[in-house]
Structure 1
Amino acid sequence: MLGLSGYVVLSTRDRVLTPGDTPPEGVDCILVLGCGVYADGSPTPMLYDRLARGVELYGAGWADVLLLSGDNRSADYNELATMDRVAQDLGAPAEAITLDYAGLSTYDSLYRAREIFGVTSLVIVTQDYHLSRALYLAEALGLEAWGVAAEGEDRPGQLYRELREILARDKDFFWAIFQPEATILGEPEPLT
């Protein structure tokens, strides 16, 4: 169990960048992965950190498109409305934002980036503990990917997330091999 998780982490560390690094050339988009919203429509602190980092990279010219991917499974839960609003509040222009309403998992978000939005290269923004798994899946799906960790302190429940991530890396190691179709596929759409 720890061996697979460790392999995923070690095999991706060379593709983790910082905002001060030279941006990779020819990147199609900056993919910001969803991370939960509260009932009042405000982002969780971790989601806010991801959005702030994504908008920062957009403003620094890392890519011309922010692809925001999150969960909108039910009428009363809409990560994307919050993500869109917060990204714009942080300074991203609406015309630079593309929304993926069916990013139900890390795998689904990356699979859909490739199949629905035609992405071939991207920068993934998520917390550091999650970045290795996202990069590993992206590479397995044939995407040229780099990752930048969202800034922010460890949040309550971090130990639980770290332990859960070990299991998630093991699961996604096998998803990377078998590459099932995303939960919700839909018709291809161009990035904005």
Structure 2
Amino acid sequence: MKRKKGLKLLLLSGAAALLYCAILQYKIYQYSHKPVPKDADYIIVLGARVKTDGPSLSLQSRIDAAAAYLLANQNTKAIVSGGQGTDEPVSEAEAMKQGLLTAGIDETRIIMESRSRNTYENITFTKKLIPAHSEPVLLVTNDFHLYRAVKMAEKQGLNVKGLPAPTPLITIPKSYVREYLALTKYLLTGKI
């Protein structure tokens, strides 16, 4: 009898976990498939890891998405946001700036924020660099990260839309598991 109850409890817990992950996945999908406004005043490119040989795959995807948008929207300025971790050769902001310059974006259109260490700080520090009444403002990050990033920005009073960068295939399993955990922590505590 105890064994049956234990099995039933295990199955119910597993079903609840799957349902929870499905809901999170739906929100992630929903936020990464919204229309992207043209002619934004600013885009905020969120940082990701920089390796010794250059941007990580995820960061390069963000740089590419930002560059494509900036080339198509000549009046938009970019704020590249990300500090330098102990294992990073340069700040994430510097790596993004170099990537955008290489893609042909004029340096006068790039503003650097190189103190932040996480998504919350990216938004906190970047918000101070955006003039009041600038709209629209777009957050550029990988599609798996967009829902949480937009929610964090809204909580800090920043009205943003998302510009999703594709998640590199090789990083999908790790990225999504980490994001489910980060989202759970954020939803429970309001912190990253």
The normalised TM-score by structure 2 is 0.74
Q: What's 2:77 paired with?
A: 65
1:16 offset after TM fit, Å? Answer: 4.6
Q: Which has the higher contact order (CA 8 A, sep 6+)?
A: 1
The structure 1 segments of at least 4 consecutive aligned residues displaced by more than 6 Å after TM superposition are none
Bigger proportion of residues as helix = 2
Write the letter of the residue equivalent to 2:99: V
The normalised TM-score by structure 1 is 0.74
Write the letter of the residue equivalent to 2:158: L
Is the contact made by 2:24 and 2:180 (CA closer than 8 Å) also made in structure 1? no
1:9–1:65 Cα change, 3 Å: farther
C-alpha root-mean-square deviation of aligned residues, in Å?
3.1
Aligned residues: 172
Structure 2: tracts of 5 or more residues without a match = 1-16
1:6 offset after TM fit, Å? Answer: 3.8
1:155 offset after TM fit, Å? Answer: 2.3
Q: What's 1:17 paired with?
A: 34
Structure 1: tracts of 5 or more residues without a match = 180-192
Q: What's 1:155 paired with?
A: 170
Write the letter of the residue equivalent to 1:136: K
Larger radius of gyration: 2
Write the letter of the residue equivalent to 1:65: K
Q: CA–CA distance in 1 between the matches of 2:123 and 2:29?
A: 16
Matches within 5 A, 1:1-192: 3=20, 6=23, 10=27, 13=30, 16-17=33-34, 21-23=36-38, 27-40=40-53, 42-61=54-73, 64-74=76-86, 76-118=89-131, 121=135, 122-151=137-166, 153-156=168-171, 158-173=172-187, 176=190
State the identity %. 22
